[in-house]
Structure 1
Amino acid sequence: MEQGQFWDIISRSLEVSDGSIERQAAELEDILADLPPVQVASFNARFVSKNLELYSWELWGAAYVLYGGCSDDCFEYLRSWVVGQGQDYFKAVQRDPHTLDNGRLSFAFESDEAEWLSYVGEDAYLRASDGRDLYEDYPQSPSTIAVGEPSGTAWDEETVESLFPDLSPLP
């Protein structure tokens, strides 16, 4: 799947979501389930790739400060949520993790619902392929579960706030 088509599908799902992660995930799944299975697998691979592009200590540190803590699962779901916000927001957050503190995050990320975005490709593939499993059909398909260390310089939980003095925990 071409990058333009990928971001178009994300945008279409975001437009009808009205800020609801659950609605966006359902819309994404519906859009994808109407595509040929190979296209769904390609979408999933691109989604995972974009998620992993955000796997950096800097972004994790900003999320840690904003949430008052951020587990590896929380960070995975946050990255999926950022991808789900569309190309412009993705690029802005990738360039500057402080972008997370623009008001959008506090509204949309009050729950762990962003996990649904991490798995929407797998769920859509089940539908598009009449019940086949994405990872059985494409065993080399990547997963949003990151392996190894994030890019950049590691931080310490005791001092991470000093790296982001302009960020305050979300209410």
Structure 2
Amino acid sequence: METLEWWDLIESARSACGERAGDRDPADDPLPDAVLDRVAALPPEEIIGFARHFSTVFDAAYLAPLWAAAYLIEGGCGDDGFMDFRSGLMLQGRAAFDGAVADPDSLADLPVVRRMATTGKGWLGCEEMLYLARNAYVRRTGSGDDFDAAFDGPVERPAPARGDRWDVEDDSEMRRRLPRLAALFLT
């Protein structure tokens, strides 16, 4: 599976969900299931390819400035939360993902983020994406053993996230580095 095919699969699922694709309400979010259905329909070797591309995309977002943005948006963010956040960011589509990797402050443009800022409700993260490829493989083949043997897991990440780090508890620093998000989330 090539990167473009990987993103096309995500975009196809987003299109099928229509306006609900950006919902990100865990109680009735249709997007993870729509992606799962598409991935489970692939041949087993393509599902493993999907998993490998997921790891590559996932690792591309292992950035300290993006972590700071997640901290601001989510009202705090630990290791697990940042994993969920990056997974959910993938579901926003390639343009949103690439934009956030290049400039985390661009997340202020996402409707789900703006809704979270105004209502105090919502969630950008998606833990289900972390297990989606394996779940699709099991659905397709009836077992995860071959998947586990063929897929060696996520790409190794450096111990600290890459990029500039700053004190996320310092509101003035957050306003300086992420001005648009700070305007939405800091009072």
TM-score, length of structure 2 as denominator length = 0.79
Separation in 2, partners of 1:16, 1:115: 21
Report the counterpart of residue 121 of structure 1 in structure 2.
Answer: 133
Equivalent position SS for 1:142: coil
Q: What are the equivalent positions in structure 2 for 1:72-87 lying under 5 Å apart?
A: 72-87=79-94
TM-score (norm: length of structure 1): 0.85
User: Could you say what secondary structure the match of 1:114 adopts?
Assistant: coil
Please, which runs of 5 or more residues in structure 2 have no aligned partner? Answer: none
* More displaced stretch, 133-142 vs 123-132: 133-142
Report the CA distance shift for 1:28/1:129 in structure 2 as closer, same or farther (over 3 A): same
- Matched residue, 2:13: 13
After superposition, what is the alpha-carbon deviation per residue over 1:124-168, rounded to whole angstroms, capped at 9, x for unaligned? 01112222246522252327x956110012222332524334423
Aligned-partner Cα distance in 1 for 2:40–2:8:
15
Equivalence for 1:161: 174
Alignment-derived partner of residue 132 in structure 1: 144
Distance 1:120 1:134 in 2: 15
- What residue number does 2:33 align with? 26
Q: Which residue of 1 aligns with 2:162?
A: 151
Matched positions, count: 170
Could you say what secondary structure the match of 2:185 adopts? coil
Larger mean CA deviation between 75-84 and 126-135 belongs to: 126-135
Contact 1:122 1:133 in 2 (8 A): no
Instruction: Provide structure 1 residue ranges, at least 5 long, that are not aligned to the other structure.
Output: none
**Corresponding letter in the other structure for 1:125:** Y
Paired amino acid for 2:166: W
Q: Structure 1 residues 71 and 77 mapped into 2: Cα distance closer, same or farther (>3 Å)?
A: same
Give the AA of the match of 2:2. Answer: E
RMSD: 2.6
Residues 88-122 of structure 1 show CA distances to partners (whole Å, capped at 9, x for unaligned) of 11111111101111142334881476111222111
Identity %: 26
Would you say the 8 A contact 2:61–2:101 is kept in 1?
A: yes
Runs of 4+, deviation exceeding 4 Å: none
User: Is 2:68 the counterpart of 1:61?
Assistant: yes
